Structure 1
Amino acid sequence: MSLNAHVYRLTLLHRRLDEAVRREARRRGTDPYRVLRLKKLKLAVRDRLSVLMRRPALG
């Protein structure tokens, strides 16, 4: 998988996690542990994206 494809997939995942956090926060009877888990996953994806974006371009 190329770097651009990997970054794109991680960006989509980050966006889906963001939507899931918002959906869970609006839901009646919100599970704070689910929100926390989703936020941690979102942060891990963001950290991975930042590492990939700091790589020097090859070629």
Structure 2
Amino acid sequence: SPKIGQKAYAIGDPKGLERSLSDGIVSRIDGSGLIQFTATASFGSSGGPLLNEDGQVIGIV
């Protein structure tokens, strides 16, 4: 499960750029399972995975 401060990687297709990767950290986790992260997520990134350093999916953008 994700932890505050751990590295996070978002993969998406923002503005038509296929398989774009951005990195950041998990900055907040609320009680309902929502994860706030600092990696850039632009229009077109929704539905892409949020990964930890081991490549495990920890969320969906």
What range describes the TM-score normalised by the shorter chain of this pair? Answer: under 0.3
Greater percentage in strand? 2
Larger radius of gyration: 1
Higher helix share: 1
Which has the higher relative contact order, 1 or 2, with Cα contacts under 8 A spaced 6 or more apart? 1
Q: Scaled by the length of structure 2, what TM-score is found? A: 0.21
TM-score after normalising by structure 1? 0.22
